[in-house]
Amino acid sequence: MTILAIESTCDETGAAVGRLTANGAVEILSDVKASSAEIHAKYGGVIPEIAAREQIGAIIPVIAEAIEEAGVEVAAIEAIAVTEGPGLIGSLLIGVETAKALALAWKKPLIAVNHMAAHVLANWIKREGGTIPQLPAVALIVSGGHTDIMLMRSLTDWEWVGGTRDDAAGEAFDKAARAMGFPYPGGPLVAKAAEAAGEIPTEIKLPRPMINEKNLEMSFSGLKTALLNLLAENKQKIKERPELVNEIAAEFNLAVTEVLVKKTMAAVEKYKPRSVLLAGGVAANKQLRGELAKAVKEAGVAFFLPDLKYCTDNAAMIAACALLQPDYVDPLRLRPDPGLEVR
């Protein structure tokens, strides 16, 4: 089956064409994206109204480009998939209403996709010589709005088994970035500063919230407060030695990584999965990718993570999710669902 997938949950507008291969992997024929992040940078965060207005202008050209780049005729597209949520309501409406209109005009079935499930199923996108994950799997979803540990018994049987009580890991990175004076979207800039750091001085220490508690729960809001205090305490020293900011960023990156790795490995021990999957925007973090891969391999379990370009929001993962767990809906009835549940 060949499908056209549309993604518009936040400040990005994406369209992709994908199809299922014989071994159950997803082949991506095109993946096009427009982003309004540069406009939001001026405000230090996403302004939902601006995001939606930009998407009104971007969505049709992005879809047209995705179809052209894939080299397929509209007649060859067998279904249209769209993210129904979670996300910003104005942004979701643009994607959902466009998908409904195209499904009706082109007489194609419509598939509704959950954005968080799609982040995880990006792990089924075909890799060079790669295999697909074996189930059951433990999936760590780390994005701007989510930090969840999911147990996947099959492609459609998922259970939430742990996650954050407050801030998501990506949100913590973005708040840390703001505290350090980096522009939006700051998460990757904190990671970059951390990579530029040398050894972390012993007096630069941040907590690892809930790391020793015997559960799969996490908390990142206290870490942000501890970081603000650490920056305030070291204000003068940072003026004298600006590299200290990089060292503080490195300690922050390490604290988040250690908590995520410890809790994911606790889930591995509890559920004994065949694979561990990393997903979501924070999966682009090099230290997290490296440390989790190491711990999972040491436990003798297969580790998967999407290519970098499929970690942050994209339409290819929406295509993957629609192909692997198609949820057909009536084009006249689909409404955006901004709820945060992962189905």
Task: Point out which residues bind ligand KG4 (CB under 6 A).
Answer: 143-145, 170, 173-174, 185, 187-188, 191, 280-282, 284-285, 312-313
Among ligand KG4, Zn ion, none, the one that 145 touches (CB under a kind-dependent 5 to 8 A) is: ligand KG4
Q: Which residues contact 145 (CB under 8 A, 6 or more apart)?
A: 86, 168, 170, 171, 340
* Shortest reach from residue 243's CB to ligand KG4, in Å: 20
Cβ closest to Zn ion, residue 268 vs residue 318: 318
**103 beta partners:** none
Q: Which entry of Zn ion, ligand KG4, none binds 133, CB below 5 to 8 A by partner kind?
A: none
> Which secondary structure element, helix H or strand E, spans residue 302, and what is its range?
strand 302-304
Nearer CB in complex with ligand KG4: 247/313:
313
Name which of 246, 243, 220 is nearest 146 in CA terms: 220
* Least distance to ligand KG4, CB of residue 274, Å: 25
- In the list Zn ion, ligand KG4, none, the entry touching 67 (Cβ below 5 to 8 angstroms by class) is none
Task: In angstroms, give the least distance from the CB of 328 to ligand KG4.
Answer: 24
Which of Zn ion, ligand KG4, none is residue 336 near (CB under 5 to 8 Å by kind)?
none
Measuring CA to CA, which residue among 102, 226, 210 is closest to residue 163? Answer: 210
Amino acid making up residue 165: R
Of 100 and 167, which CB lies nearer to ligand KG4 in the complex structure?
Answer: 167
Name which of 132 and 288 has its Cβ closer to ligand KG4.
288
Provide, rounded to whole angstroms, the least separation between the CB of residue 184 and ligand KG4: 9
Q: How many CA atoms lie within 13 A of 269 on its CB side?
A: 11
**DSSP SS3 for 321:** helix
338, interface contact from ligand KG4, Zn ion, none, CB < 5-8 Å by kind: none
Burial class of residue 50 in the structure, from the number of CB atoms within 10 Å of its CB (0-12 exposed, 13-18 middle, 19+ buried): middle
| Nearer residue to ligand KG4 within complex by CB, 79 or 116 | 116
Q: Which residues pair with 302 in a beta bridge?
A: 275
* Residue 284 interacts with, from ligand KG4, Zn ion, none (CB under 5-8 Å by kind): ligand KG4
CB of 280 to Zn ion, least distance (A): 6
Q: Which residues bind Zn ion (CB under 5 A)?
A: 143, 313
| Residue placing its CB nearer to Zn ion in the complex, 234 or 325 | 325
Query: 4 — phi, psi (to 5°)?
Result: -105, 125
CB atoms within 10 A of CB 236: 8
β-strand partners of 328: 111
CB of 130 to ligand KG4, least distance (A): 21
Interacting partner of 251 out of Zn ion, ligand KG4, none (Cβ under 5 to 8 A depending on kind): none
Contacts of 163 (CB under 8 A, 6+ apart): 146, 147, 148, 149, 216, 217, 218
* CA proximity to 82, closest of 50, 112, 43: 112
In the complex, the smallest distance separating the C-beta of residue 340 from Zn ion, rounded to whole angstroms, is 12
Angle between helical axes of 169-179 and 221-233 (0-180°, round to 10): 20
Task: Select 95 or 145, whichever has its Cβ closest to ligand KG4.
Answer: 145
Q: Which does 114 bind (CB under 5 to 8 A by kind): ligand KG4, Zn ion, none?
A: none
Largest CA distance in the chain: 66
Cα 222 to the chain's mean position, in Å? 22
Neighbours of 324 (CB within 10 A): 19
Nearer to ligand KG4 by Cβ, of 18 and 185: the residue is 185
- The CB-of-333 to ligand KG4 minimum distance in angstroms stands at 25
Q: State whether residue 62 is helix, strand or coil.
A: helix
